[in-house]
Amino acid sequence: MTLAAAAERIAAQFEYPRSAVQRGVHEFLREMKEGLRKSGTTLSQLPSYVTAVPDGSEKGVYMAVDLGGTNFRVCSIRLHGNGTFSLTQEKTKVPAEMMLAKTGKELFGFMADRIEAFLKTHHEAYHAAHVRRRTRGLGYSDEEMFSLGFTFSFPVEQQGINKGTLIRWTKGFDIPDVIGKDVCSLLQTEIDARYLPVRVVALVNDTVGTLLARAYTNTSKNATVLGAIFGTGTNGAYVEKLDRILKMSDASDVDRSTGDMIINTEWGSFDNPQSVLPVTSYDIQLDQNSVNPGVHMFEKRVSGLFLGEILRRALLELVKDPSAALFSDENSNQNDTHSTTNIAASSPLYEPFGLDTSLLSLVAGDDSKGLKITRQALDGDYGISAASAEDAEAVRLIAAAIGKRAARLAAVAIAAIVIHTNALRTADQVDVGVDGSLVEFYPNFEDYVREALREIAQIGESGEKRIHIGIAKDGSGVGAALCALVAEAAQRGKSSAVLDCEMLTVAEAVNDEYEESDNLFSRLIGVINDAVRLRV
């Protein structure tokens, strides 16, 4: 069998035809309804306790932290009130040993240390004033604290807007003693241990934050129905009618004035039994060697954390197949350098998760002669020297099939939520906010999504044209800030379907008005009384 034929055989295994897409939508709708009725389902349908959606007029300064996978981010966000915001941030890579820490205290202590460093760098005056007040034995009050939204991008069972227990770890994290504990409380404990002027007021999943951020920055008159992440992981959150969340019918601590609540689907675990999901031998191998076998089966076919590993396993099969001869001497005659093709013994190709998903994006966008850019990447990043044009074409063919399947699976989730919410019946245009490296950087990802949407009976060509997909920049940061604003409004008994408020937080007042003076805090009381106002 020639290399081209072998590559085509593998690529064909990743085809996801129209009929399979339709079956996927049908099953997704079934699991959505099941998840609204009861807990413990495959599609968790987790209540976020966020019942208000912004419209872009909100103002204030808030802090946000984001644990989304590979990085931890600390931000302060100024909402300008015209659908725009300014953001100051610091991003730190989460050390591999911290993802597998022995105790939760290590991880949450790491996060609190980063918050402290951020305050000292970007809000030094406020931090110094707080420390001075505490050392004088004057204590502090809630009004003198930064309100912080905590974006925690892992499955949690949320009991309130600032309380949620971890259900399970994903994205390579595995710290057993955190499971079943309130993550907001764990973070607040470490913040308090460092005497920081920060109060965790809201727990936000990154997709809930993406939805809120898109709603805030969306300049059209159409409400944002869905926020979705297609990056290291994948998930979606949407606006649901409260009376359809049957498992919350007896809940007493829910603001029901809006009639809505944002639902965190946790769609990464859609169809864990694999009744409708496509399955290849590479999917099976990946799952068996993952930290969480048998769960998050949808995510393992769609998210950036896993697509590179699927490609690596497929390529390794061709390397080991003598009849295919991928990266072998037989194909060296097409090399620009006429050198011998060689795979270094230390090549990441031989290491689990050694092939980054960014290679799929690079290959998909490579229009160079003889796929020279791809071959250079194989050499420079993966220790595969002098790969031939035929080698590169085999990589391109398989990578494209894996990426296209991921996009068509993404369309299943998007379509199901659009159908479930009756969005196409109630609005001329449907707005969907998205974030993540796949949707931003993978060429043709949205085109593949739209192709699949047109094939779905309840969407069709006319419906697909009415679905607007827009990037929600800094969703996990500004979204968490907006959720902190919602939490403050709820605490004051002020919430509505659309927030219409203007707040000057004490943090803003101190940063704008700070002077070295013993009577700083007496003046602050006046600033607070004059500046904090809420219109509903």
Positions annotated as catalytic residues are 153, 168, 206
Nearest of 495, 526, 524 to residue 58 by alpha carbon: 495
230: three-class secondary structure by DSSP: strand
According to the 3-state scheme, what is the secondary structure of 37-93? HCCCCCCCCEECCCCCEECCCCEEEEEEEEECCCEEEEEEEEEECCCCEEEEEEEEE
CA distance 444 to 373: 18
| DSSP-assigned letter for residue 179 | B
CA distance 246 to 171: 30
Task: Using the CB atoms, write b or e for 226-263: b if 16+ within 10 Å.
Answer: bbbbbbbbbbbbbbbebebbeebeeeeebbeebebbbb
Task: Using the CB atoms, write b or e for 26-35: b if 16+ within 10 Å.
Answer: bbbbebbeeb
- 173, 510 Cβ separation under 8 angstroms: no
- 54, 212 Cβ separation under 8 angstroms: yes
Question: What is the widest separation between alpha-carbon atoms in the chain?
Answer: 84
44 φ/ψ angles, rounded to the nearest 5 degrees? -65, -35
According to the 3-state scheme, what is the secondary structure of 403-417? HHHHHHHHHHHHHHH
2: three-class secondary structure by DSSP: coil
Nearest of 477, 503, 478, 515 to residue 126 by alpha carbon: 515
Query: Cβ neighbours of residue 300 under 8 Å, at least 6 residues apart?
Result: 283, 286, 287, 290, 306
In the block, tokens 């915001």 appear at 85
Nearest of 27, 526, 19 to residue 270 by alpha carbon: 27
